[in-house]
Structure 1
Amino acid sequence: MLGLLLLQVLASCLWLGHSKVVNSFADCPEFFYAGTTPNDALHPQNPAWICQRYRNSSHYATLYDRDRRIPVYSAYKYHPGPAKRPHVWWFVEPQLIGKNDLQEIERESVLINQHKFTLDQIKKSQAVLDDYDKKTGLTRGHLNPNGHMDSKENKTATFSLTNIVPQDKSLNDGQWNKYESKTMTEMSKDCTTTYVITGAVPGSTNVAGGRVNRPSHIWSAACCLVGTQPKKSWGVIAENNKNQVENHSLGELENRLTSLYGERRVTLFNSACPREQASLP
């Protein structure tokens, strides 16, 4: 009887350990309304759940595709503020390298010179600086843009390559920038809290010698709370080779993503966030 009890306890511990590994957003649920994350229809084959940490705090959450070396999505609270865009270097994520005690984004040079990692170790499951250098027609496209953050620390944390995809330059400088800087401001002006999830649909081509996937589409969805109640939601999507942004309701965007992800039903927010049309300016 004692042996059977010990086996049951061991099995329970193993299951709990597995659950903790899978649900690593448990350490930063505050970036998702009601703690509800997008469903697993978006999950890649080799995912990494990252609570994006900088200066002893988590600033947003990212689901990362280790094989394609791009984020699937980043989730955050929209809270622009007066802090200026930081003049910063780019960061990488030590948690993707392997077993180590580093839990915050860090510069490549620091990881190599101070912590004795090799560049090959860093490159194995994430993009590095060289992957984005001199890419004609492409830019480092933030999923969580620094302009949607308030403090210097929050803004600086967005400059991690785990929050970046190869984005068409005309789109990033044009209509997508207009959505981020103007449309979001107008849509969120009466919101107490705005939860945002911005993602990238994997494409059929790669850059950087085949290392980094070039997404076919960039998309974003928002759920606006007035007080503690969701009052409206909206979504946008853009093909990553055109300077054009399509406006959608949350429900329409989820339907579009369901089609793009091979008919695996996509849900992005808690069911309390309205799925009907929100009128974007």
Structure 2
Amino acid sequence: MPASPLLFTLLSLLSLVQADVVTRFQDVPECMEFFYKGKVPEWGDAASDAAHICQRFTNRYHFATLYDTKHRIAVYSAYRFQPSDGGGREKRWFVEPQLVNPSWQAEMKDGYWLGKDNPGVFLGERQALNEDYTHSGFDRGHLNPNGHHAVPSRNATFTLTNVVPQNRKMNQDAWRIHEEQLTGLFRAQCSEAYVLVGAIPSEDNWIVKNNVKRVNIPDYLWKAYCCVDNNGRPVKSGAATARNTEQNLVEKISLGELGEFFQQFTNQPVGELFYNNCRA
């Protein structure tokens, strides 16, 4: 007997809820919790090569990533700050199975074992792989930093869809210091902190493997945050940009100035990154 329309609809909805890569972040209510008052930025959202990933690990969502499958780097990751309790320094690097085949499992998986489970299948058509970074001269630079989370969310940040090729000096010095400064600010002044952190791709600077352009080396990194009190009212906001070079300098700016910065790279209106620009 063929399935009834109602049963088909229920099965389709169940499949959607379990999916990791979705058409819109709004399709998964749990994924929307990483955006202040459910406001998803318009920045980068209209690109045909963008994949919306609700980052699933240990059968729950930990943050959201808009991923550029053409450049094989994230446009941004969105998360809520958690005080870290240590641990969670992964030796594994995860990949997103559903960027290989939409029917595959709805949870990030160690790229090594996903390859072993699917011999002969190339995993890197729409995402970066661990071997792309090996001997590249660049760090696997977290966008959503592991230090802004408790376990297991801390472990979940070790997915290559949350990573960009980052200048080693910048990653290990100025950008690291900035992340630590934000940790202190979030702990002291925020009941909850909503954060967006992303990258601006370069026009033609890539990690090249076997004469193939594999991973775009971004020109800039950027970060934006919205702090709220116990009643969910904004109390502080800010942003920062940094050139992905030996210059090793993070420039702290306002959300409005970050919007002006973005406008250099698009002919379209940038729009709000946070609901009401994180104003009370």
TM over 0.5: yes
101, 109, 112: which one aligns with 2:112:
109
Match of 1:76 in 2: 79
CA offset at residue 187 of structure 1?
A: 4.9
> What is the identity percentage for the equivalent residue pairs of Structure 1 and Structure 2?
36
Match of 1:182 in 2: 181
Pair 1:159-2:158 in alignment:
yes
Deviations 1:65-116 (A, max 9, x none): 11110010000001122122424310100010123240000012221223x2
The aligned amino acid for 1:44 is A
Maintained 8 Å contact 2:39/2:274:
yes
Query: 1:235-254 residue pairs with structure 2 within 5 A?
Result: 235-241=239-245, 242-254=247-259
Structure 1 residues without counterparts, runs of 5 or longer: 1-12, 276-281
Structure 1's consecutive aligned runs of 4 or more residues displaced over 6 angstroms after TM superposition are none
CA offset at residue 131 of structure 1?
A: 0.5
Maintained 8 Å contact 1:96/1:126:
yes
Structure 1 residues 119 and 25 mapped into 2: Cα distance closer, same or farther (>3 Å)? farther
45, 57, 60: which one aligns with 2:60:
57
Partners of 1:91 and 1:219 lie apart in 2 by 23
CA offset at residue 45 of structure 1?
A: 3.0
Partners of 1:213 and 1:222 lie apart in 2 by 25
CA offset at residue 150 of structure 1?
A: 1.2
Maintained 8 Å contact 1:59/1:76:
yes
Partners of 2:47 and 2:119 lie apart in 1 by 26
Maintained 8 Å contact 1:85/1:147:
no
Maintained 8 Å contact 1:195/1:222:
yes
Pair 1:191-2:190 in alignment:
yes
Partners of 1:250 and 1:57 lie apart in 2 by 30
Query: 1:92-241 residue pairs with structure 2 within 5 A?
Result: 92-114=95-117, 116-120=118-122, 122-136=123-137, 138-151=138-151, 153-204=152-203, 205-209=205-209, 210-227=213-230, 228-241=232-245
Match of 1:38 in 2: 41
Maintained 8 Å contact 2:197/2:224:
yes
Maintained 8 Å contact 1:41/1:266:
no
Structure 2 residues without counterparts, runs of 5 or longer: 1-11
Maintained 8 Å contact 2:44/2:50:
no
Deviations 1:175-219 (A, max 9, x none): 100000124422551210000000001112111331111111000
Maintained 8 Å contact 1:25/1:51:
no
Number of equivalenced pairs: 254
Is the partner of 1:109 in helix, strand or coil?
helix
Partners of 1:118 and 1:59 lie apart in 2 by 31
Maintained 8 Å contact 1:70/1:165:
yes
Maintained 8 Å contact 1:48/1:65:
yes
CA offset at residue 156 of structure 1?
A: 0.7
Taking structure 2 as the reference length, what is the TM-score of the superposition?
Answer: 0.85
CA RMSD of aligned residues (A): 2.1
